[in-house]
Amino acid sequence: MLNLQDPTLFRTENYIDGKWIAGSAGHIIVTNPANGDVIAKTTNSNAADATVAVEAAAVAFKSWSRTPAKERAKVMRKWYELILENTEDLARLMTTEQGKPLTEAIGEVNYGAAFIEFYAEECKRVMGATIPTVANDRRLQTYKQAIGVVGCITPWNFPNAMITRKAAPAIAAGCTVVIKPDAGTPLSALALCELAERAGIPAGVLNVVISSHSQAIGEVLTQHKKISKFTFTGSTAVGKILMAQCASTVKKISLELGGNAPYIVFDDADIGEAVTHCVATKFRNCGQTCVCTNRIFVQSSIAEEFTKRLKEAIAELKVADGFTDGAMIGPLINSAAVEKIDGLIADATQKGAEVLLGGGRHELGQGFYQPTLLANISQDMRIANEEIFGPVAAIQTFETESEVIERANDTVYGLAAYFFTRDIGRVMRVSEELEYGIVCSNSGVFSTEVAPFGGWKQSGIGSEGGQEGIADFYETKFHSMGGIDS
């Protein structure tokens, strides 16, 4: 069914301490969201299995943290090269378990690999400092030392890149990791482990525990005394729980949580460009990303033209199984996701929203949903306040710059924001006034391994990617040396 060129990339057991090990909690049935077919029966794990992984990572940390950065970089470079050599197989695994079109899956594999390449290079540039002394008999220095074992929980929507974005800087810094991927998309994570082993990453440095018992595994990764840092990508509600659990041992944390991204189109914008990028950032991965456009604000004087052209563009999107040639919109991840979209649209239409396109489940059945366009959106609608996570574009109008900035900032979230204008003064003003960790002007594309990715407010803590992305995997040690003759 998978038609892999290298069938050995298909793994179904935990990867702990360099060994493929069955879990202690039975099995998980992994299905294809496009058709419901069973893909695999993977192992299932409990807290005891996660504890074994943490203990193995703690032992491996002793030697890996002392491995010279240049040597760590060589092994990681080999991992990166093996991922690129197996891009097609990794993408096929992802499309099968997650549903996104194969072309998108290939893009994610390349994006994920880029983090490994970047941090393999970056770890050789992390330096301490010599501080000007305050006395002739003293010398002052700082060192950067790997923080320790890192616990990671990653989501289903990017089952490859969310792992590499966390594991690459950690491993490059000299840390060891224990990862719990989403139980619905474990195959991508295990395939990465297979390639890491081939690359020569030592036993215990990278560990993956597959489990449907999220709460139990989460408690281990947030409370085990041998874990020094915890990183999570997922919902704000779950992030708050995990953050509280980390407090018991005062762990360093990184959280990449929910979003409610505004997409602002001013009346001087290039409407064609604004429409093109709106489709790209709204409907990527069937709308299932934390940085997808969520609230579309269009200045009233151009709203009719923008809406007309957006409707035409959305109508061209091809909904299909991810392996179909030309597929642009795959399925939602599961039935709960479909039901949520149904509920959001029902609530909006009951409160006066107009359905201009789509509005219901797709004839393909299973998890497929019609690309939808709604107008006449008001603030009392759920769709104006909740993260949509589906292929629904909802348009609101505004009159002035100050008004739309206030409305865009009127949310507990602060992950990504987009706006379009040809006025350079407005570009500077709006980018400074939007309360978001990521602001994108005149483009809907920003993701890159060389820049930080992180949110403000309840969208998270810390950043992944860029120089900032490796900083949290180090502790700074200040060394004061006395007894030096002047």
- pLDDT digit string, tens, across residues 305-355: 999 999 999 999 999 999 999 999 999 999 999 999 999 999 999 999 999
Longest dimension (CA), the chain: 83
pLDDT at 151: 98
Domain spans in the chain, listed from the N-terminal domain onward? 7-257+460-478, 261-457
Q: Which of 104, 122, 256, 387 is catalytic?
A: 256
- What's the rounded Cα separation, in Å, for the pair 39 and 165? 26
Backbone angles phi, psi at 340, to 5 degrees: -65, -45
Position 413 pLDDT exceeds 90: yes
User: Measured between alpha carbons, how far is 52 from 349 in angstroms, rounded to an integer?
Assistant: 51
DSSP string, 278-317: HHHHHHGGGG-STTSEEEEEEEHHHHHHHHHHHHHHHHTP
Contact yes or no for 155/183 (Cβ under 8 A): no
User: Could you read off the pLDDT of 104-150 as tens digits, one per residue?
Assistant: 999 999 999 999 999 999 999 999 999 999 999 999 999 999 999 99
CB of 88 within 8 A of CB of 5? yes
Quick one: which of 372, 409, 421 has its CA closest to 394?
Answer: 372
Residue-wise pLDDT tens digits, 49-74 = 999 999 999 999 999 999 999 999 99
Q: How confident is the model at residue 2 (pLDDT cuts 50, 70, 90)?
A: confident
Q: What is the pLDDT of residues 254-290, one digit of tens each?
A: 999 999 999 999 999 999 999 999 999 999 999 999 9
- Give residue 485's pLDDT: 80
* CA Rg value for the chain: 23
256 is catalytic: yes
Residue 335: count other Cβ atoms within 10 Å of its Cβ: 12
Q: Residue 1's pLDDT is what?
A: 59
Query: For residue range 202-219, what is the model confidence (pLDDT) as tens digits?
Result: 999 999 999 999 999 999
What's the pLDDT band for 486 if we cut at 50, 70, 90?
Answer: low
**Average of pLDDT values for 407-420?**
98
State both tokens at 95: 């499309």
CB atoms within 10 A of CB 206: 28
Q: What whole-number distance in Å separates Cα of residue 398 and Cα of residue 263?
A: 12
Query: What per-residue confidence (pLDDT) applies to 371?
Result: 98
Both ends of the chain: CA-CA distance in Å? Answer: 74
What value does the mean pLDDT take over residues 33-51? 97
Q: What fold does the segment set 7-257+460-478 form as a domain? A: Aldehyde Dehydrogenase; Chain A, domain 1 (3.40.605)
Give which of 292, 347, 283 is closest to 318, Cα–Cα.
Answer: 283
The phi, psi pair for 417, rounded to 5°, reads -145, 150
Beta partners for 230?
151, 253
Domain 261-457, classified CATH 3.40.309.10, yes or no: yes
pLDDT of residue 213: 98
